[in-house]
Structure 1
Amino acid sequence: MHRHELSDQEWELLAPLIPQAATGRPRVSDRQIINGMVYRIRTGISWRDLPERFGPWKTVYTRFRRYALGGVFTRALQRIQAAADAAGDIDWLVQIDSTIVRAHQHAAATGRKGGCISRTNRNDHALGRSRGGLTTKVHLACDGKGRPLAILVTPGQRHDSICTRPLLERIRVPRPGPGRPRCRPDQVMADKAYSSRGFRAYLRKRGIGHVIPEKNDQQRHRHNRGRHGGRPPGFDREAYRRRNMIERCFNRLKGFRSIATRYEKTAISYEAAVTLVSFLLWARSV
């Protein structure tokens, strides 16, 4: 096994989910192709610069796009999450946060094909324009052990509070037997960016506890209203000390250079790369 390639344990977890062609000419080994994908995401090189030991670079890229569009990596991530949940290995104190990723000029080329990127352009491929240029924001929900449960990719200028509900609704851990997937955490932990009455009401409606500090201006507004301001929301300061787990998760994700800097032109490809890395983080923790 070379550097930045799948171990035997990781390949055993992923191999059953790789689509197999029933007919056609003999194809390059699936493990060889997946190793090429992981190597490229880890090092951040161009697809054309892949070493020859992974086979033709076009084959690696074509299968990556096919697996991304087919949701292969998403199913792999859900399967390993289901196995961990069946073993009682998931800590359902879910933490949510987001991180900004700078888009490389190769990724920014997509915006010019469909016109300028603006609020009215829906086909923005999760690229948003800010002072620093084009950026993408990765919203993440992880368990209490710092392993990804759900991923959402949006333009960089999108506010965190807007994406909380879509992010939590992406948590779907299948059951080992019959029954619906588990979608509801025991508690949600987040920073002050997610402190809003609407989000707290949404969590109460779903029966989910929360550990979210209150913003200073919200405290002043509540105090100024006197007895009509209501009680302060509950906040467990001791439990909040564990919020660094999601920062550690981001740190491990961005250890892969194609995640720390976005080179993919489409949002589907970039989200597939984040999902594949999330699967690897789970595989290395079980």
Structure 2
Amino acid sequence: MGRGDLSDAEWARLESHLPRNTGRGGRWKCHRKVINGILFRLRTGIPWRELATRFGRWQTVYDRHRRWSADGTWERILRSIQASADAEGRIDWSMVGVDSTVCRAHQHAAGARKRAPRVTGKRTRPGWHRPDEALGRSGGGLTTKIHLAGEGGRRPLALLVTPGQWGDGSQMISVLGQLRVSRPAGGHPRTRPDCLSADKAYSSRHNRRYLRRRQIRHIIPERRDQRTHRRSRGSAGGRPAGFHRELYARRNEVERCINALKNSRAVATRYDKRAYVFQGTVTVAAIRLWLRT
């Protein structure tokens, strides 16, 4: 086992969630060797062609990652691992934090063809070819933003990739819409945390109304301009938003979750041209965090 490869304990947690051979076409190569190659590239950020020969042909490793990113296999694996962790009581629902982080895009991430390539079969979903490719231009150049919801154990529950200049508050509902942890014993998936924390960027009437409608307790500080506007309206401005300073201190958990994700160089700097491939890269980093704990 090389440095950064899956340990026997991690492989035991992951193996049961991987897709099986269907008996049609060629058989999958060894999943463990290929996934170790994907993890090596995730950790180092090297070009796919520079993968060591111990992982097999680099085309096989890259194609596996691209296909599983396109058909949603990585997302299904992540949700299966989360469901198993929830059944074992290893998800801290008492506080879920929502936040975002900006990733600088490498020059190799730009230049994708505007027209989506022709897709054959059912392995790739054309809808994943976004017209903006989740690339935005800001003062720092080309950037991509990762929006996520992290549980109290500093592991991501839901992920969303957007262009770097998109705001945080407008994406909170979309991120929570991705939060869906199944129950292996049956029943509706869990989609609501006990409490949600977020910073001032998420303070808006629309977001607070959404959280109240779903009966989610939230700790979001009120912005100064919103507080001034509310007070200027007198009794018509409504009551001040509730805020618990001691519980809000736990917002560092989602920030530490982001820091753990960006320890992977292929996440901290985007090298993938296509948005769906980069979404798969971030999802693989999230899967690794769930396997390690």
TM-score, length-normalised on structure 2? Answer: 0.91
Correspondence 1:31 to 2:32: yes
Question: By how many angstroms is 1:284 displaced?
Answer: 1.0
Change (3 A) 1:235 1:24: same
Q: Look up the match of 1:79.
A: 80
Give, in whole Å, the separation in 1 of the partners of 2:179 and 2:280: 16
2:264 aligns with 256
**Partners of 1:189 and 1:211 within 8 A in 2:** yes
The structural deviation recorded for 1:52 is 0.6
Number of aligned pairs? 278
Cα distance per residue 1:59-103 (max 9 Å; x no partner): 100111111122222112111211221222212211000000011
Shift of 1:227: 2.1
Q: Which residue of 2 aligns with 1:63?
A: 64
Determine the C-alpha separation between the residues in 2 that align with 1:19 and 1:208. 35
Amino acid at match of 2:79: Q
Distance 1:53 1:84 in 2: 31
CA contact (8 A) 2:183 2:189 kept: yes
Whether contact under 8 Å (2:136, 2:143) holds in the other structure is: yes
Q: Could you tell me the percent identity over the aligned residues?
A: 54
Matched letter for residue 277 of structure 1: A
Please give the residue correspondences for 1:41-56 in structure 2 after superposition, counting only pairs within 5 Å. 41-56=42-57
Q: Does 1:281 align with 2:252?
A: no
Secondary structure in 2 matching 1:4: coil
Question: Which sections of structure 2, spanning at least 5 residues, go unmatched?
Answer: 116-128
Number of the residue aligned with 1:170: 178
1:101 to 100, 103, 106: 103
Amino acid at match of 1:241: A
Q: Unpaired segments of 5 or more residues in structure 1?
A: 116-120
Q: Deviations over 1:226-246 (max 9, x none)?
A: 222211110000000111011
SS at 2:166 equivalent: coil
> Alpha carbons of 1:122 and 1:26: their partners in 2 closer, same or farther (altered >3 Å)?
closer
Distance 2:11 2:48 in 1: 22
Does structure 1 conserve the Cα–Cα contact (< 8 Å) formed by 2:69 and 2:277? yes
Retained in 2: the 8 A contact 1:17–1:72? Answer: no
Given that 2:11 and 2:32 are in contact with CA atoms closer than 8 Å, whether structure 1 keeps it comes out as yes
Change over 3 Å in CA distance of 1:46–1:209 after alignment to 2? same
SS in 2 for 1:151: strand
- Mapping 1:197-236, distance limit 5 Å: 197-236=205-244
- Distance change in 2, residues 1:136/1:178 (3 Å): same
SS of the aligned residue for 1:17 comes to coil
Aligned Cα RMSD in Å? 1.6
* TM-score normalised to structure 1 length: 0.93
TM-aligned CA distance change 1:87 to 1:114, over 3 Å: same
Counterpart Cα distance in 1 of 2:218 and 2:103: 27
Q: Deviations over 1:119-151 (max 9, x none)?
A: xx9511111111221110000101112110000
Specify whether residues 73 and 25 from structure 1 end up closer, same or farther in structure 2 by C-alpha distance, changes over 3 A only: closer
In 1, Cα distance between the equivalents of 2:139 and 2:199? Answer: 24
Q: Which moved more, 1:220-229 or 1:142-151?
A: 220-229
User: Once superposed, which parts of structure 1, at least 4 consecutive aligned residues long, lie more than 3 Å away?
Assistant: 23-28
User: Shift of the alpha carbon at 1:165?
Assistant: 0.7
**Structure 1 match to 2:114:** 114
Are residue 246 (structure 1) and residue 254 (structure 2) matched? yes
